[in-house]
Amino acid sequence: MKSVLMFTMESCPFCKEASTWMEELKKENVKYFNIDIQKIDERRQPEIANKYDYYYVPTYYVDGVKVHEGAATKDIIRKVLETASE
């Protein structure tokens, strides 16, 4: 399993939607349940967020590699989780 960093902002509606889909996908597929997903709020944790190259949230990094940036669909999040579970 690979680690996932999810960059978010509390006020971002796309981030909230993505978080909901991540929880749904974990319930739908047990192999996603144990993926280590660390959520980084860029305003609360700028010391971490500033080390990464992105402009839009939510942004996902899997093992340090950016795999998605910006508004996501449930299918995109599934692909992120698939990448992390490989």
From first to last of its 86 residues, the chain has per-residue pLDDT tens of 899 999 999 999 999 999 999 999 999 999 999 999 999 999 999 999 999 999 999 999 999 999 999 999 999 999 999 999 98
Residue 41 is predicted with a pLDDT of 97
DSSP character at residue 11:
T
Q: Exposed, middle or buried, 45 (CB in 10 Å: 0-12/13-18/19+)?
A: middle
Class of the CATH-defined domain 4-85: alpha beta
Quote the DSSP letter at residue 32. Answer: G
What is the four-CA torsion angle of 70, 33, 49, 53, rounded to 10 degrees?
-50
Contacts of 34 (CB under 8 A, 6+ apart): 1
What confidence score (pLDDT) does residue 1 get? 86
Tokens standing for residue 18:
């993505």
Separation of alpha carbons 71 and 59, rounded Å: 8
